[in-house]
Copies of this chain bind each other. A is one copy, B any other.
Amino acid sequence: MNMSRKDRQFRPVAVPDVEVAGFWGKWQDAVCDSTAETLLDRCVEAGMLRAIDVEQPSPGVVIPILEWGGSTQMFWDSDLGKSIETIAYSLYRKPNARLEARADAIIDLYERLQDRDGYLNAWFQRVQPDRRWTNLRDHHELYCAGHLIEAAVAYYQATGKRKLLDIMCRYADYMIKVFGHGPDQIPGYDGHEEIELALVKLARVTGEKKYLDLSKFFVDERGAEPHFFTDEAKRDGRDPRNYIQKTYEYGQAHLPVREQTKVVGHAVRAMYLYSGMADIATEYKDDSLTGALEALWNDVVTKQMYITGGIGPAASNEGFTDYYDLPNDTAYAETCASVGLVFWANRMLGRGPDRRYADIMEQALYNGALPGLSIDGKTFFYDNPLESTGKHHRWKWHHCPCCPPNIARLVTSIGSYMYAAAEDEIAVHLYGESTLRAELAGGTKVTLKQDTNYPWDGAIGLTVTLAAPARFALSLRIPEWATGATLSVNGEMLSLAEIVSDGYARIEREWTDNDRVALFLPLALRPQYANPKVRQDAGRVALMRGPLVYCVEETDNGPDLNAIVVPKSLPQAQTEVLSELNGAVAIDLAAERDDTSSWGEALYRTIPADRSAAKVRLIPFHLWDNRAPGGMLVWLQAEK
Chain B CB count within 10 A is highest, among A301, A603, A605, for A603
Neighbouring B residues of A531 by C-beta, 8 Å: 596, 599, 602-604, 609
Q: How far is the CA of A387 from the CA of B536 in the complex (A)?
A: 11
A53 interfacial by beta-carbon distance below 8 Å: no
B interface footprint on A522-544 (CB within 8 Å = 1, 0 otherwise): 00001111111111001111100
> Is the CB of A560 closer than 8 A to any CB of chain B?
yes
Q: A313 to B603: give the CA distance in the assembly, Å.
A: 15
Q: Determine the distance from Cα of A528 to Cα of B596 in the docked complex, in whole angstroms.
A: 16
Find out whether the CB atom of B389 lies under 8 angstroms from the CB atom of A603. Answer: no
Is residue A607 within 8 Å, beta carbon to beta carbon, of the partner chain? yes
Nearest-neighbour CB distance to chain B for A511, whole angstroms, equals: 36
A325 and B389 within 8 A (CB)? yes
Would A603 and B302 count as touching, CB distance under 8 A?
yes
Contact B538 A307 (CB under 8 A): no
What is the CA–CA distance of A531 and B604 in the complex, to the nearest angstrom?
A: 6
CB distance B538 to A594 under 8 Å? yes
Enumerate chain B residues within 8 angstroms of A606, measured Cβ to Cβ: 526-529
Interface segment, one of A60-68, A619-627, A632-640: A632-640
- Cβ-defined partner of A562 (8 Å) among B532, B561, B640: B532
Which of chain B's residues have a CB closer than 8 A to the CB of A637?
A: 538-539, 640
**Nearest-CB distance from A484 to chain B (Å)?**
14
Q: Which of B387, B389, B604 is A529 in contact with, Cβ under 8 Å?
A: B604
Count copies of this chain in the complex.
2
Complex formed: what's the CA distance from A562 to B535 in Å?
5
Nearest residue, chain B, Cβ from A530: B604
- The answer on a CB contact under 8 Å between A607 and B529 is yes
**Distance in Å: Cβ of A457 to nearest Cβ of chain B:** 21
Given contacts A535-B560, A596-B531, A640-B640, contact A322 B389 (CB under 8 A): yes
Q: Please name all residues of chain B whose beta carbon is closer than 8 Å to the beta carbon of A594 when the two chains form the complex.
A: 532, 538
Contacting pair B602 A302 (CB below 8 A): yes
Cβ–Cβ < 8 Å partners of A301 in chain B: 603
Asked whether, in the complex, the Cβ of A640 is within 8 Å of the Cβ of B565, the reply is yes
Give bound CA distance, A526 to B607, whole Å: 10
- A498 at the A/B interface (Cβ < 8 Å)? no
Judge if A426 is at the interface, Cβ distance under 8 Å: no
Chain B residues near A542 (CB, 8 Å)? 604
What B residues does A528 contact at CB under 8 A? 604-606
Q: How far does the alpha carbon of A115 sit from the alpha carbon of B607 in the complex, in Å?
A: 60
A7 at the interface (CB under 8 A from B): no
A:264-302 near B, CB below 8 Å: 298, 301-302
Report if A421 contacts B (CB, 8 A). no
Partner of A638, one of B527, B540, B608: B608
Identify the closest chain B residue to A541 (Cβ): B608
Q: A220 near B: Cβ within 8 Å? A: no
Nearest CB of B to A563, in Å: 5
Q: Does A601 contact B (CB under 8 A)?
A: yes
Restricting to A561-609, which residues have a CB under 8 Å from any CB of B? 561-563, 565, 594-596, 599, 601-609
State whether the Cβ of A305 lies closer than 8 Å to any Cβ in chain B: yes
Closest to A527 in B: B606
Smallest Cβ-Cβ distance to A596: which chain B residue: B532
**Alpha-carbon distance A541/B608, docked complex (angstroms):** 9
**CB of A258 closer than 8 Å to a CB of B:** no
Look across to chain B and name the residue whose beta carbon is closest to the beta carbon of A611.
B640
A residues near B, CB below 8 A? 298, 301-303, 305, 307, 322, 325, 327, 329-330, 387, 389, 526-535, 538-542, 560-563, 565, 594-596, 599, 601-609, 611, 637-640
5 new A-B contacts at CB < 8 Å, known A302-B602, A529-B607: A322-B389, A527-B608, A531-B599, A533-B596, A640-B640
